[in-house]
Amino acid sequence: MGLLARIESPADVRRLTAAQVDELAAEIREFLVQSVSRTGGHLGPNLGVVELTLAMHRVFDSPRDSMVFDTGHQAYVHKLVTGRKDFADLRKRGGLSGYPSRAESEHDIVENSHASTALSWADGIAKANVVRGRTDRHVVAVIGDGALTGGMAWEALNNIAAGHDRRLVIVVNDNGRSYAPTIGGLAYALTALRTTRGYENVLSWGKKTLKRSGPPGRLAYDALHGLKKGVKDIVAPQGMFEDLGLKYIGPVDGHDTAAVERALARAKAFGGPVIVHVITEKGRGYTPAEQDLLDRFHAVGRIHPETGLPIAPSRFGWTSVFADEMVRIGRRRPDVVAVTAAMLAPTGLAPFATEFPHRTFDVGIAEQHAATSAAGMAFAGLHPVVAVYATFLNRAFDQVVMDVALHKAGVTFVLDRAGITGDDGASHNGMWDMAMLSVVPGLRLAAPRDEPTLRAALRLAVDVDDAPTVVRYPKSPLVDPIPAIDTVDGVDVLARHGAGTARDVLVVGVGALVPSALGVGELLAAHGLRVTVVDPRWVLPVPEALVKLAGEHDHVVTMEDGLVDGGVGALLAQRAREARVATPVQSVGVPLGFLDHATRDQIVADLRLRPEDIVRDVLVALNEPTAPTEG
């Protein structure tokens, strides 16, 4: 690191010459490729915002001027500029977060990595600056064209446009992509802007043409005025931004630092809300990313930096099983359609889209719209399957309740990356869904334990046409099939241990924790207890058979990778009390709170969710000795 080694703060960047800024940009790209290839992380988005981030820090004065990054996965360059250059443990415990983090730096504001929120944050900060008389401060919000497909962004724009005294600069980072190509009317409008010469350039061409055509006069003036109006109607984004009352600057080449600096300086001097439209290229400067059409470099694992190929081949996992079963169902059921919120490939819907393109709907980063649109499809005779990451369904909770469940709509929600995910940090752990959805009337939720139960759950879910259904599965590797040795009214019995007069313990495993539940059963049996290990598969609502089984045992232990407060165990305990079942239910799961970034195994150990930890806690609850019995 030549120049980069000397950058400890934004002030160091402001002291560079224009030539040095270009040199620094090249160094940063090389650093990102070499570092992220070793750790994994969001490579493509950060390669695309190098010049933009440098220009922002040269024009504005962070942290005095607040910088808010929408989604935050494109903040690696910002971290480097603000003195955080140790990427060796990126997204690992004790290392840098993959998103902005207030614990890391005063330059970071928004930690939540859910999209379309930055403009609302910026609006709030700008309002506070006005109320507190801070007229010398600016707020800069960076939002991608993909995030602009989210409705919350437009709610914010509606409010921002009303605040003419607020020093707020909105940088639209337009690269035509989110996880995949941006879709919808907004995308078409931005594409037109991207592919048409700028308004000023066309107007300059018009002036030169008129000058060559003859002496100036009224006719020439009228022609120029008409040209100016016509070109502005075509090129300037009247319907999107200026008609809202927002000043618009652009489009600007986002890889020309000097041009971006000029545009940002103009916006800063304006004194009110301004939109700066910047055109960038995701993966800029890294050939494998530039040539990739599938956006594999949006987020990568460990890769070979020279080729971009993964060091460890990807395994056939949960998402791949879902993808395959969806295609099978689609061939059998012409009424089944797929809905995604800008994540066609990450959620496994790409194969379905390839075979059934007219039955696949990408609604952009708009989970609320996805849920309600799906309710409309169900009313009209289709069965939508809405595939999202578990943590992103939080955003559509009201729609699940009031638009889907209230109307008894047959909509299936498939939640990828449910439970503890780890390295992406607090906002990406999908641990909220079971507790959150447990209050939705009529909703049924399945937590499959392996490939066969995932396929079976999905087939059953799409057969339900009068209520919402949910199928959740984890990010962890797919386990080998775990067969049932018996079934009790739909509850799978996976193991029975022990005999005689020892106390009976019922161990209930939910989804990804079923293998651990089997381990707990074996360890408890080694302490002389009789143990039955079961998997309900469909955990919401709590099966009556599970309540009955609880009453047949002396102690119940439930294990889930969701919130223990309001989770499956808590609901089973409540149903048992209502049924006058006196058996105590010991609930094991994720405590209420936010989880820092770390590996899944580290988090599981911290939360005492390993089999040996759970067994010790169960033995303490039973007043049993914690040392195994001899023989």
3-state per-residue secondary structure call for 103-141: CCCCCCCCCCCCCCCHHHHHHHHHHHHHHCCCCCCCEEE
Query: How many angstroms separate the CA atoms of 134 and 337, rounded?
Result: 51
Any known ligand binding at 476? Answer: no
- Is residue 395 flagged as an active site residue? yes
Query: How many angstroms separate the CA atoms of 497 and 445, rounded?
Result: 29
- Is residue 367 flagged as an active site residue? yes
Residue 19 to residues 9, 57, 257, 323: CA-CA distances in angstroms?
19, 16, 10, 49
Query: How many angstroms separate the CA atoms of 96 and 147, rounded?
Result: 24
CB 481 within 8 A of CB 451: yes
Catalytic residue (choose from 79, 92, 166, 395)? 395
Query: How many angstroms separate the CA atoms of 236 and 402, rounded?
Result: 39
Any known ligand binding at 374? Answer: no
What phi, psi does 247 have (nearest 5°)?
A: -70, 140
Buried b / exposed e across 212-245, counting CB within 10 Å, b at 16+? eeeeeeeeeeeebeebeeebeeebbbeebbeebe
Strand order in the sheet with 168-174: 66-69, 139-144, 168-174, 274-279, 247-253
CB 410 within 8 A of CB 464: yes
Any known ligand binding at 115? Answer: yes
Residue at token pair 């060091």: 311
Any known ligand binding at 286? Answer: yes
Catalytic residue (choose from 27, 51, 261, 367)? 367
Residue at token pair 């079961």: 534
CB 35 within 8 A of CB 300: no
Q: Tokens at residue 111, please?
A: 């930690």
Any known ligand binding at 175? Answer: yes
Any known ligand binding at 367? Answer: yes
Query: How many angstroms separate the CA atoms of 571 and 549, rounded?
Result: 15
Q: Tokens at residue 491, please?
A: 């509850």
Residue at token pair 């400067």: 285
* Beta carbons within 8 Å of 271's beta carbon, 6+ residues apart: 165, 167
CB 50 within 8 A of CB 25: yes
CB 299 within 8 A of CB 41: yes
Catalytic residue (choose from 58, 167, 177, 282)? 282
Residues recorded for the chain = 631
Any known ligand binding at 146? Answer: yes
What phi, psi does 328 have (nearest 5°)?
A: -60, -45
Q: Tell me the CB-side half-sphere exposure of residue 608, using CA atoms within 13 A.
A: 10
Any known ligand binding at 114? Answer: yes
Secondary element (H or E) of residue 44 = helix 44-47
Any known ligand binding at 73? Answer: yes
Write out the DSSP string of 333-388: -TTEEEEESS-TTTTT-HHHHHH-GGGEEE--S-HHHHHHHHHHHHHTT-EEEEEE
**Binding site listing for thiamine diphosphate:** 73, 113-115, 146-147, 175, 286, 367
Active-site positions read 282, 367, 395
**Binding site listing:** 73, 113-115, 145-147, 175, 286, 367
